Amino acid sequence: MRTLAFNPSTLPSSRLPAGALQPALFAGVIAAGLAVDQRFQPWGQAAVDAAVWSLFLALVWQRHGAERLALLACLAYASAGELFLSEGLGLYTYRDGSIPLFVPPGHVLLLLLGMEVTRAIPKRILAIVPWATLPIVAAAAWTGIDPSAPYLFALYVVCLRFGPSPSLYSAMFVLSLAMEVYGVWLGNWTWTTERVFDGPRLHNPPLAAGAFYCVLDWLVIATRNRFYPSCPSSQSHAAPRTPLESPWAGEESRVSTRSEKT
């Protein structure tokens, strides 16, 4: 399975803390926000809404062109996904029964954190993720703990094979599971363990929930390519990928080879 090599020199321009402080900021806002939302009611959720939206708007303000479009597209798709999965299908419910305002931009922050993590971790380690998690997914399905795991894992593998950001998807597979376990443990949300529309029963939380973030990133890049067709990443996915930092920046370089197409 292919991985991405990120180049630190092409980080999107920002006046927010740079280097190790920026991923720490994203991780801190997510972790502290979920704790404050749960532990300090009723004002906690309003405070988290203000903090997360302020950070998101600062990111949008400091970016331009394809990067700004990608952030806004990610917010739009995350919002639609929340409405469809939570309100429509009822796969999970939040503590007070409605989707908190900080959740859609929180998905954007988690994806940005994943990009930072992908840049920092050697790609050979990220390449191990699908092979290391496959036995766990198989065991969860075999024992009946999480019958949905093989289906979501298959979606993750499809994204790894054909999506534009495979290393990011492996990072998100782990990060999203950590966030899901943390949020469920705190009580911010709960996944249903009942069958939905005769589909497979879910675990609380699903072991392969990271597949949703893989699809989210793929949709964001497809939307960016629609409005910025000159981006190199809009070329055929059959070509090998050598992206420079975030694939949202539209600065990927590709060299088509016969062996890769084979």
84-108 tens-digit pLDDT: 999 999 999 999 999 999 999 999 9
Sign of CA dihedral 161, 167, 169, 175: positive
79: left (phi over 0), alpha (psi -120 to 50) or beta: alpha
Give pTM, 2 decimals.
0.82
The Cα-based distances of 77 to 25, 123, 245, 258 in angstroms read 23, 28, 22, 35
Cis peptide before 205 (omega within 30 of 0): yes
**CA–CA separation, 55 and 163 (whole Å):** 28
Q: What is the pLDDT of residues 11-40, one digit of tens each?
A: 343 445 555 678 899 999 999 999 999 999
**CA–CA separation, 154 and 139 (whole Å):** 15
Q: Helices 211-227 and 103-120: crossing angle, nearest 10°?
A: 90
CB-facing half-sphere around the CA of 28: CA atoms within 13 A: 9
CB-CB neighbours of 5 under 10 Å? 13
What proportion of the chain, given as a percentage, has pLDDT over 70? 80
**CA–CA separation, 52 and 101 (whole Å):** 9
Question: Per-residue pLDDT for 49 more than 90?
Answer: yes
Contact by Cβ (8 Å): 194, 201: yes
pLDDT of res. 17? 55
Average pLDDT, the chain: 84
Question: Residue 189 pairs with which residues in a beta bridge?
Answer: 94
CB-CB neighbours of 119 under 10 Å? 20
Tokens 């300090």 correspond to: 40
**CA–CA separation, 217 and 220 (whole Å):** 5
Contact by Cβ (8 Å): 7, 245: yes
**CA–CA separation, 247 and 259 (whole Å):** 23
The Cα-based distances of 147 to 123, 142, 151, 204 in angstroms read 30, 8, 8, 11
pLDDT of res. 19? 57
pLDDT of res. 115? 94
Q: Give the CA angle between residues 142, 148, 150 to the nearest 5°.
A: 65
Largest CA distance in the chain: 60
**CA–CA separation, 254 and 117 (whole Å):** 22
pLDDT: is 19 or 176 the higher one?
A: 176
